[in-house]
Amino acid sequence: MKLNKKVVGITLASTLALGSLGFSSANEKVEAKKDSQKAKNVIVLVMDGVSSSTTTLARWYKGQPLAMDEILTGGVRTYSAESAITDSAPAGTAMATGNKSNDKFVGVLPEKVANPGVDADLADNPYKPVANVLEGAKISGKATGIISTSEIQHATPAAFSSHAAHRSDYDSIAEQQVYQDMDVVLGGGKNSLLAENRKDGENLVEVIDNKGYDLVETRDELLNSKSSKLWGSFAPSALAYDMDREQTNPDEPTLAEMTKKAISTLSKDKDGFFLFVEGSKPDWAAHANDPIGMISDTLSFDAAVKEALDFAKKNKNTMIVAVSDHGNSGISIGNQNTSGSYPSIPVSTYIDPLKEAEMTLEGALKQLKSDKSNVLEVAALYGIDNPTQEETKAIQESKDLGKTLVQLLANRANIGFTTGGHTGEDLFLYSFGPGSPTGLVENTEIAHSAAKAMGFDLKKLDNQVFVNAEAEFKKIGAKVKVDSADATNPVLVVTKGKTNAQFPVNKNVLIMNGKEIDLETVTVQSNGEFYVSKEAIQLVKKGK
């Protein structure tokens, strides 16, 4: 566990009874090694928007079993607090915090509960930030990290590392991630770190540098880094699809390489680690009904699972959970073409047309010239080679080339799609190691299983790290106001006697009587209310 270099003072772990947080005492830690439900390390991997038919296609395409196949242990129910079909934000929130939530909500409680089986009381405190498993791991002394092939500020990684009323609030999400003081952050999203792209004008790249990270921006820089604190920002927004990477973005690392590097870095911490990994872009491909992109990045994700599994088998004290957060596209192996002929159609009929593609839809379309003079060449890159007269006409006359190409390829491969949006079916659960969940579980159980394996209770943790600032400070006789002189960076100002305490939003910083103190958790403003930890309340109360 790393010591705070800025202040030697009160910390959450030392001011509060460890038992009240659900953390183990020193004696209990000795016993925990003998407990089959305890894990020193936890790795949660999420493949975004991957339906069961997608994994089946990926396996046939690969021609051999997936790494995930070895650890299939059950299924996951994915609905949100309000809908049978979830968005990534509430799905991520459920898996990170153990609470069902609403569309677009990241790490906060729902405003509306409409589904049976969801606790209606969750809506009693809408928009309240709730503690996640990464925060619990960090407070209990473990190293922490997140990885994503999208912007690192995207909904699912955001749910494991921040709290916001809307997933599109990249400014707040990015700032909270920087001030969460994680040990490893790898993915895209550099744009949200740059002062010129932020409403508050803050240069988060400079903050990352000041916090001692090795900021790496290429595959070689990542693999050659020896630092114990790594921030990899490999693209302005999302990384390329794995199939396209070597041709379009060769300097980007693969998801498996990022996962392996993160594990080797985090595992140096004697207290263990928590790592979140997302394969983001199968979901994006599914929205576009692009089976090539879906297969490409499902296989990329599976390679990352193999890295985690290889480590866990050797370590023997690591819990792995791999899962999809929701289905997408209603993809099916078989369509109207096969209604009467399906009993006699071999695998090759479905897979061979897909193997003709050299790039995903996104990669192929990027090769299209402005005058569209190479439209047939682009179609060939996507697997529509030697087009029929009818196909050629459709391609040349298309007003939406992407839509036309996916329809033509789906027809060739006898693949069906029912929607361009998410779907609500139960999904496969893959798990391994001590404390790992099995059977048909709610997505919220992933968070609770991870927390339990690491030795803390999420509900008890939440009661300590996110309390209503105004209400709790008034209890100790302090006065509270919000300084909104800079509307993009409001500051909670607390006065008690001669003590003046300032809490900048989205930071783990307390400025007390001019002295800057690092806190264990970030200060969050949600729906107009400020939330701080009980650690912060105690620091102001003592006036130190």
- What six digits make up the tokens of 12? 């959450």
Is residue 102 within 8 A of residue 80, CB to CB? The reply is yes
By the 10 Å C-beta count (0-12 exposed, 13-18 middle, 19+ buried), 9 is classed as middle
Contacts of 417 (CB under 8 A, 6+ apart): 289, 329, 330, 331, 332, 410
DSSP, res 441: E
Selection from 217, 258, 262 nearest residue 235 by Cα: 217
- What six digits make up the tokens of 1? 């566990």
Q: Locate tokens 């809490």: which residue?
A: 503
Kindly provide the b/e burial profile for residues 360-377, where b requires at least 16 CB atoms within 10 angstroms of the residue's own CB. Answer: bbbbbbeebeeeeeebbe
- What six digits make up the tokens of 7? 């202040």
State which H helix or E strand residue 431 sits in.
Answer: strand 427-432
Rounded Cα gap, residues 382 and 363, in angstroms: 9
By the 10 Å C-beta count (0-12 exposed, 13-18 middle, 19+ buried), 205 is classed as middle
**Active site residues per annotation:** 88
Is residue 99 within 8 A of residue 130, CB to CB? The reply is yes
DSSP, res 83: -
